Structure 1
Amino acid sequence: MTTGNTQRELIDYLWEWAESKGFWAKLLVHKVTTSQAPLTQIEKQEVFNYYLQEITFIFEPPLPPINISKPTFTLPTREISLTKLSEVKGVNRLAEDQVMEFSPNITVVYGNNGVGKTGYSRVLKAQGYSFDSNNDILSNVHEEQVGQSAKIEFTLDGNPFYINWEGINLPSDLNAVSVFNSDCVNISLSSNRELLVTPKGFYLFSLITNELTALSAMHTQQYSLYPIKMHWSEQLIEGTPQKLYIDSLAPNSDKQKLEELSLYTQVNQDELSKKEDELKKLNKATLEVNLKNIDFILTELATNISMVRNIQSNLTKNDWDIIIKYNAALQILKAKTKKGIAGLAETHGLEQFNTVEFNTFLKSADSYIKLIAKENYPNNADDTCVYCKQDLQNEHARNLIESYSKILNDTTQEEIVKYKKLKTDIAERVNLLNDGIMFHYPAFGLLENNSIVQPKEIIDFNSKVKLYKSHIVNDSVSPNTEFEINYKVTIQFLEKKQKELITSRDSLIKALANLETAEIKLKKEIAELKDRKLLSVHKQEVLTCISNLSARKLLDDNKVQFNTMSLSAKTTQAREELVAQDFQDKFTAELKGFRKQHLDVNIGFFSQQGSSRIRQNIRQYDINKVLSEGEQKTIALCEFLTELQLDTTVAPVVFDDPVNSLDHNVMQDVAKRLADLSKERQVIVFTHNVLFYNAFFALQSHVTYKTNTDFNFYKVNTNGINTGLLSEGTPINKLKTYTSKLNIICNNGLGGKNENEVASEGYAYLRAGLELLVSNSIFKEIVGRYRNNIMMTLFPAVKGDMIEKHKAEIDGMFGRASGFIRAHSHPEEQHSPPTMNDLKADYKRFKIIEKDFK
């Protein structure tokens, strides 16, 4: 966009806005006003750094203070003029060897539809600006697409320059060229559009708006320098104090609370391991298995306790002492048996015992009686005689045996047998005792090789039982060996383990009954410990995050600084006071020039993101719903012409068919307005309208423009293959146009063409020449085919006598010409085709007749 005249108040509005923002805004306004161009990235960063320091971000060292006062501002002015367009390639079907030279004032290019006018217009529009921003250009669509290019020569403040255009809009001074075409109307009259030119230096507002947008982007980028995303936090478990703390993290989060929540010691680690083990065991199936195992262990333990108690009952110190006592008694009894028969006889006072016969008898009888080995023998009811097996119920027999016993022995042997029997009973009872108590279930745990622990207490107990049992069974009990089995200690040891297991079993039963509650509680405790551990590892990162949140809050609290609304408000204020009335006055003047002031168009301005925008209506209704197409186009032209007056850069303006939909009266007004405009800035007009084209020829000879306005005319044609073929422009339906062509045909010969075809072409020009001879030469253009008035002042100049003299010949010549040009389509109406001699003869007479009417 281009710029416009300004007054000294403009900088005041900008400075007022800057003072409301702070030092950074003053620095921004000063830099933009000084350069009148977008800031470099280094300059942007400097402004942004001062903004950060102002909102309390710390710089080390601090940014130095800068003394800034309100800058002065003077609008630059430039004058641009196009001189030549050439070397056009790849633009629609435009011929490549054409050169268009531009008048310093006004250049008018005429041609029918489809001959290439708009192609030239598109080249200029692609490098300039317009309401219509569509700059797409194609090459010949019937061939492979190629790139566009052209050479555009121009002057800037009188100095020559050129650019090699390559199909795209490149930054250059030619960006100031403005273009108005038919598509601009709807855009121009929309209810919300940006001004085509920035009025009265308001481009400074646009520049600062753009810088605010850039600063806002830097603000967003700065925001990203303070990341608050902690990916590890996704591992935190819902509901834990740590998770709640992190989720509610804020610039003012309690750091002491963080210390408490992240404290993690070895005690916590041990507790975590313990609770994880508990949780593993808190599986229903596992609990049931553990409960079953404990039941097995308790059963075995109860069995082993019973076995110990059984041993306690059957292997006692009392038995041990009795056996020692029995051994002592037996020792005495055995000593008595060693006295023999003599001792027995001596004891009983028997005589003649010492004979061999008696001695042998006693020994035999004694040995035989001992075979019985019965207590109270022979006084038992079922006793029989040891010698003859007779019933001893007979008193005499019984007395005999008793007598034998008394003679043969005393009770010593019986007592020996008795004591041995008592010892044997004890030994047999003790021998049955288990001296290898073992645990087949891990009541006391497992060893590393998964074998079951056998407690030392039980091993020692088994060893002692085995020892004492061995002495008793093997009859090796000695009074010198103390009996030292402490059954009470062993039973207490086992019962203690029994109680522990019963407690564990009860806990398991309770755990099974409250499995869900216990599991929830354990999981909650484990989750807290795990999150505590995780938070302890990342505590510094959390502290950094809190710091970053504080930085972000600072940025968030101040991001409104770069909002353009306040600048738009200041733009609106400046525009209303500096531009609005001036624009309305100029627009009204344009409407009067086209006699359209009665339309009562309302012009309104507003700001959007620092840009000046305009809307227009008629009594709150959209213009396109109220006005005709022609009236809409007139309003669009008036706005366009008004905006041009806001532009201090004097640059060319291009009009491509600006009078479509306009009546012939308005066309004349538009032609005059563009001729007037060409005195201020270069004007280039493309048109296919004959009335509009001829209007410029009429103005060229008008006294107002004849001496101070340079007109340049082109006509554009096509050869059927290429368009944009340029030739000198002449007034449409001027006699000279056709006489020139007739001269060429008659003087240049056939040029290898068919004589009848060349002659027919010549007669076509002669026929048109005869028409113009009548309208222009004979009747002095009193009535023009492409003019909107009858020039009655020329009527007296009509030569009536010459009309009478030549009218019959003119009519006959016109009839021949008409017949010859129809020869190809209606051969039956022509007796013979035209010849060059016929054409030359008729053209010779034509020139004589024309001369008579001059």
Structure 2
Amino acid sequence: MSNAIEELAKLNFNGVKWISLLKNQLCLSGTIAQSDIDSAFQDIHSNEVIEDVEVNVASEDISHSNKSLFQLRENENIGGLYNNKKIEFSPNLTLIYGKNGSGKSSYYKILKDAFHSNQAIVGNIYNTNDNAPSANIEFRNKDSHLKWQKKGSTNNFSDNAEIINWTAGSRYSSLVKFCDGEILSSSLSKRDTGWSIDRYKLEYYEKFRNAIEQVESKVSSKLSELDSDFEGKLNIIINGLKLSKEDAIKAFLTNNKTNKNLILEKCKELHTVELSSEDIEQKPNYIQKSNLSIQELLDKTAILESKIQTLDKAISFTLENTHIYAQLEQITNNIIKLSSLKESVDFTQFEKYQLLFNPKLHQDDYVSLLKKIAETALTFGITNYPSDVDKCFYCNQTLEEENKSLIKNLHELIDNEVSTEIQKLSKTIEEYVIRIEKSTVKQTETIEFSDINQVWDIQTKSIVDLNNLQTIVNSKKELLGLKQEVSDLTKEPSSVYDSWVANELLYQIVKSEKEILTSQINSLKKQSVGIEKIRKEAQNDLNKIEDIEFCIAQRALVKALIETLENHQKYNQSYSTFQGIKSKVSRDKGRVEGDLIRNNYVSKFNENLDYFELAKREKIIRSFSNPSGLSKIDGKIDSNGRKFEISSILSEGEAKVFSLCDWLTELDFDDNEILVFDDPITSLDQVNIYKLVDKIIDLSKSYQVIVFTHNFEFYHRLIQKSLGGSPLHKGKCEICKNESEQQQCTGFNSQSDLTHKCCSYYQIEHILQPGSINEEVMFLSLDWDKRIEILRSNLLAGDIREADKHIRTTINNFFERFVLGDIKRKVYKNNDLIKEWRDIREISEADYDLLMDVHNKISGESGIHEASPEVRTALDVRGYINEFNKMVRGINNMRSFNNPSMANRIEEILI
């Protein structure tokens, strides 16, 4: 499998037109326009079958821009940089070295801001300028760029420039990939980086899925539109219908609003409905019956119900009076019994006490007094009253013994049971009096008996005068007299027989009248119900006919509703397929991802782990995820079934190695052509620094590589590895001399008196210093023994143009590689020797001083880098040969010092 496009083209949708056209368009052109989305939506219901296209995109045919970064120039108002400086890049490898504060980070941020992400670049705070930070970034055709570097030729070179006028915050599309601490840290959790694979065109699946979702969105919007249209049309029809019975059209449409299938079938039926001839003939009859009125019957019923209310009052009044008269005999007996109980008390026994009141004249008062005294004593729990108290309950006076005896005697005269019975009888009589009093205040209306013509009294054998009978009953005189007699406890009250009979008779007559009226009301209501039933049935029949007439009149609306429902049915059926389609695309994308990337990614990642020799690397697992179709990868450490985050287990250096392995693996699946590194060696040990150097040099054979660093050893090592061969000898390049003439460099240019170095090993380097960029960097790459050979060859040929550089650098390199055993330099002494070291070889102090004398004589006061012109020595060929021979003697002595095996001696130059 070479490309995801080929696999996408094979994805079968049974030739369905809309989606097949989308897929074919994407596979052939690489894009899906809005017009394609619109067309797919228009064809969503098409039954036409489309053939799948065949594509053949081999991996090697994947197009690249073949652009290389040529220059960064004309910078303005960028913090840390002087305006209008220029960095020129090599199409292969560019090394940019700068100490802290030299502006290295600012140049890197310009590129990253332009081609990766916002870097929040500020203006130069030391130089007031209101202009936005800006620069020109120039790209060239890589082949022309290589030709220019090899031959120095500018033919056709200016015609293919691509210049980006960058301002801070602007983003441009480019095949540039960055590597720095921030990016490497983020690779510990790929979920946050947003990295997705592009090289094998997996994004075609995302474009396809996105297009499907856009069509789906259009279908969803159409369904919403149809829902709204359906609801509006249906409501118009429902509101125009009249009959609301359960089996009526209106009820059916209302109850089944959510069931569009049932509504559709009903609308199809309504669209063809017609009135029968019977309905047409019966309609006038239904109209007549539906207009029937029952108001007259309702008015009659209301009058009769009002009469019944009057009769109910009379029934209540006569019934109450009848009960009063019927109870009179019992009340009379109670009066007689009460009198008897009172007379049973012998009040003559009170005479000997000479009480204040004569008991015979005030019997009731004494009985009440004694009763109260007995009740009070019992209430306070004093059963031996008054013996157990000191004062009277009623006068609160101290009771002398003789008074206590008197009260005790009085108390014993009245039996408690007799007192209770007297109280009970008195209460019954009192309640009867109150009942009579209530009846005397009641008012009753005179009743007009319209339904009872005559009432015959059997006893008198005469017709009852109903008006006179009501007068007798309504008379209050007899009741008032009875009330007074009972209140006076008259043992033989006046006769109430006539009133009793009159009340009883009137009660029966009124009750009969009510029964007659009730029967009449029931008859009227029955008539009303019958008429209402006829009217309602007629109205329903009429509404049914009118509903049919409405549907006939609204056939255009019913037809439009049918079309809306049929469209909704079609779009809904199409919409239901989208989830399955999207799942199918995602599944196939996952399969292709596995074939193209997933397995290869893990394999390549493990190769990189092996290259860097990361400890416990077999514990590291890589898991892929596919949210929304994007390829995401995460890293975990699996130990004894438990999974840990990479950053929580690995040391800082190990995590950096892991991140580099991930970054390098990712590179294999990207389409990037330009790699920009910013000090990627932080936290790495020396072994891994060297491995990274080798990896970068290897990458520069396929990519344009740009490295920013402030670490001199890293810079030195990169130069050393990048050159890797003999320098030019006069006008002839020793490296490319055996290549075809087309591939050979120009060598020495007599007109400019400059040697154009071969691009096979020469890469443009820059030394950054505040305010300046130095491109003429000395050769630091060759080992000391190889450099001595070159230096010897040059001196024998009389070429001293770079002799000082070679002598000085040879001494530095010899100390670093032989004496110090590749230990990282930390503090410089005498320009470039280490003050602090580990595992230094034993050396002779005299030999050390000899080499340092030569070094300092050649370099003057300069640092490890190129000497400035003002301190350059003015030696001739002979002078340089003398210094060369001194250096050789010192190196030979050190190499043989305490060395059990003799090294091959370096020959001095004979003069």
TM-score after normalising by structure 2? 0.48
Q: How does 1:588-603 map to 2 (within 5 A)?
A: 588-596=606-614, 598-600=616-618, 601-603=620-622
> Does the 8 Å contact 1:138/1:145 carry over to 2?
no
**Letter matched to residue 39 of structure 1:** I
**Letter matched to residue 645 of structure 1:** D
Residues in 2 aligned to 1:196 and 1:666: alpha-carbon distance in whole angstroms: 28
Residues in 2 aligned to 1:208 and 1:246: alpha-carbon distance in whole angstroms: 39
The aligned counterpart of 2:106 is 119
CA pair 51-694 structure 1, distance change in 2 beyond 3 A? same
Distance apart, 1:53 and its partner CA: 0.7
The aligned counterpart of 1:184 is 183
Question: What is the DSSP-based 3-state SS (H/G/I as helix, E as strand, rest coil) of the residue aligned with 1:158?
Answer: helix
Distance apart, 1:710 and its partner CA: 3.4
1:155 aligns with 2:140: yes
The aligned counterpart of 1:13 is 7
**Letter matched to residue 176 of structure 1:** L
Residues in 2 aligned to 1:537 and 1:564: alpha-carbon distance in whole angstroms: 46
CA pair 780-571 structure 1, distance change in 2 beyond 3 A? closer
> Does the 8 Å contact 1:243/1:531 carry over to 2?
no
Residues in 2 aligned to 1:806 and 1:8: alpha-carbon distance in whole angstroms: 61
The aligned counterpart of 2:569 is 553
1:213 aligns with 2:213: yes
Deviations 1:417-458 (A, max 9, x none): xxxxxxxxxxxxxxxxxxxxxxxxxxxxxxxxxxxxxxxxxx
The aligned counterpart of 1:73 is 57
The aligned counterpart of 1:710 is 762
**Letter matched to residue 31 of structure 1:** Q
1:656 aligns with 2:678: yes
CA pair 622-681 structure 1, distance change in 2 beyond 3 A? same
Distance apart, 1:158 and its partner CA: 3.1
CA pair 548-105 structure 1, distance change in 2 beyond 3 A? same
From 677, 687, 690, the counterpart of 2:699: 677
> Does the 8 Å contact 1:104/1:682 carry over to 2?
yes
Distance apart, 1:652 and its partner CA: 0.5
The aligned counterpart of 1:41 is 34
CA pair 575-245 structure 1, distance change in 2 beyond 3 A? same
**Letter matched to residue 626 of structure 1:** I
The aligned counterpart of 2:654 is 631
Distance apart, 1:729 and its partner CA: 7.8
Structure 1 vs Structure 2 CA RMSD: 5.8
Residues in 1 aligned to 2:852 and 2:129: alpha-carbon distance in whole angstroms: 62
Deviations 1:326-377 (A, max 9, x none): xxxxxxxxxxxxxxxxxxxxxxxxxxxxxxxxxxxxxxxxxxxxxxxxxxxx
**Letter matched to residue 155 of structure 1:** R
> Looking at CA atoms only, which structure, 1 or 2, has the larger radius of gyration?
1
Residues in 2 aligned to 1:701 and 1:794: alpha-carbon distance in whole angstroms: 31
Residues in 2 aligned to 1:15 and 1:617: alpha-carbon distance in whole angstroms: 35
Residues in 1 aligned to 2:688 and 2:597: alpha-carbon distance in whole angstroms: 28
Distance apart, 1:135 and its partner CA: 5.6
**Letter matched to residue 627 of structure 2:** Q
1:97 aligns with 2:84: yes
Distance apart, 1:144 and its partner CA: 8.2
Unaligned runs of 5+ residues in structure 1 are 1-6, 55-62, 296-501, 720-724, 735-768, 818-839
Residues in 1 aligned to 2:810 and 2:703: alpha-carbon distance in whole angstroms: 40
> Does the 8 Å contact 2:233/2:557 carry over to 1?
no
Residues in 1 aligned to 2:68 and 2:852: alpha-carbon distance in whole angstroms: 54
CA pair 794-610 structure 1, distance change in 2 beyond 3 A? farther
> Does the 8 Å contact 2:20/2:51 carry over to 1?
no
Residues in 2 aligned to 1:145 and 1:252: alpha-carbon distance in whole angstroms: 72
> Does the 8 Å contact 2:78/2:106 carry over to 1?
yes
From 116, 128, 141, the counterpart of 2:115: 128
Residues in 1 aligned to 2:232 and 2:281: alpha-carbon distance in whole angstroms: 26
Residues in 2 aligned to 1:791 and 1:145: alpha-carbon distance in whole angstroms: 55
Deviations 1:74-110 (A, max 9, x none): 4423222111112234554543311111111222223
**Letter matched to residue 215 of structure 2:** L
**Letter matched to residue 613 of structure 2:** R
Residues in 2 aligned to 1:135 and 1:617: alpha-carbon distance in whole angstroms: 30
Question: What is the DSSP-based 3-state SS (H/G/I as helix, E as strand, rest coil) of the residue aligned with 1:108?
Answer: strand
Question: What is the DSSP-based 3-state SS (H/G/I as helix, E as strand, rest coil) of the residue aligned with 1:575?
Answer: helix
Distance apart, 1:569 and its partner CA: 1.2
Deviations 1:165-190 (A, max 9, x none): 34488896x52111122222343221
Residues in 1 aligned to 2:568 and 2:700: alpha-carbon distance in whole angstroms: 58
Distance apart, 1:531 and its partner CA: 10
**Letter matched to residue 558 of structure 1:** S
Residues in 1 aligned to 2:291 and 2:555: alpha-carbon distance in whole angstroms: 24
CA pair 542-110 structure 1, distance change in 2 beyond 3 A? farther
Q: How does 1:252-271 map to 2 (within 5 A)?
A: 252-253=262-263, 254-255=266-267
Residues in 1 aligned to 2:572 and 2:72: alpha-carbon distance in whole angstroms: 54
**Letter matched to residue 76 of structure 1:** I
Residues in 2 aligned to 1:111 and 1:668: alpha-carbon distance in whole angstroms: 20
Residues in 2 aligned to 1:176 and 1:852: alpha-carbon distance in whole angstroms: 51
Residues in 2 aligned to 1:794 and 1:692: alpha-carbon distance in whole angstroms: 26
Residues in 2 aligned to 1:70 and 1:210: alpha-carbon distance in whole angstroms: 22
1:687 aligns with 2:709: yes
Residues in 1 aligned to 2:852 and 2:886: alpha-carbon distance in whole angstroms: 12
Identity percentage of aligned residues: 20
The aligned counterpart of 1:785 is 825
Distance apart, 1:73 and its partner CA: 2.4
The aligned counterpart of 2:601 is 583
CA pair 155-220 structure 1, distance change in 2 beyond 3 A? farther
Deviations 1:516-539 (A, max 9, x none): x99xx99x999x999999999877
Unaligned runs of 5+ residues in structure 2 are 145-159, 245-249, 307-516, 728-734, 736-757, 782-804, 827-833, 863-869, 888-911
Deviations 1:128-151 (A, max 9, x none): 34xxx5565454589787545432
CA pair 80-796 structure 1, distance change in 2 beyond 3 A? farther
> Does the 8 Å contact 1:21/1:561 carry over to 2?
no
Residues in 1 aligned to 2:76 and 2:290: alpha-carbon distance in whole angstroms: 85
Deviations 1:33-90 (A, max 9, x none): 2112x22223333344444314xxxxxxxx7x65544333244232221111122345
Which protein, 1 or 2, shows the higher relative CO under an 8 Å CA cutoff with sep ≥ 6? 1
After alignment, is 593-602 or 232-241 more displaced?
232-241
Distance apart, 1:250 and its partner CA: 0.5
**Letter matched to residue 30 of structure 1:** N
> Does the 8 Å contact 1:194/1:614 carry over to 2?
no
CA pair 584-276 structure 1, distance change in 2 beyond 3 A? farther
After alignment, is 673-682 or 175-184 more displaced?
175-184
From 69, 75, 80, the counterpart of 1:88: 75
CA pair 266-631 structure 1, distance change in 2 beyond 3 A? farther
**Letter matched to residue 70 of structure 1:** E
Residues in 2 aligned to 1:71 and 1:778: alpha-carbon distance in whole angstroms: 60
The aligned counterpart of 2:467 is none
**Letter matched to residue 614 of structure 1:** I
Residues in 1 aligned to 2:221 and 2:234: alpha-carbon distance in whole angstroms: 24
The aligned counterpart of 2:665 is 642
Residues in 2 aligned to 1:806 and 1:713: alpha-carbon distance in whole angstroms: 27
Question: What is the DSSP-based 3-state SS (H/G/I as helix, E as strand, rest coil) of the residue aligned with 1:175?
Answer: coil
The aligned counterpart of 1:608 is 627
Residues in 2 aligned to 1:804 and 1:23: alpha-carbon distance in whole angstroms: 83
The aligned counterpart of 1:327 is none
**Letter matched to residue 72 of structure 1:** N
Residues in 2 aligned to 1:661 and 1:8: alpha-carbon distance in whole angstroms: 38
Distance apart, 1:803 and its partner CA: 8.1
Residues in 2 aligned to 1:656 and 1:805: alpha-carbon distance in whole angstroms: 37
Count of paired positions: 542
Question: What is the DSSP-based 3-state SS (H/G/I as helix, E as strand, rest coil) of the residue aligned with 1:97?
Answer: coil
1:244 aligns with 2:270: no
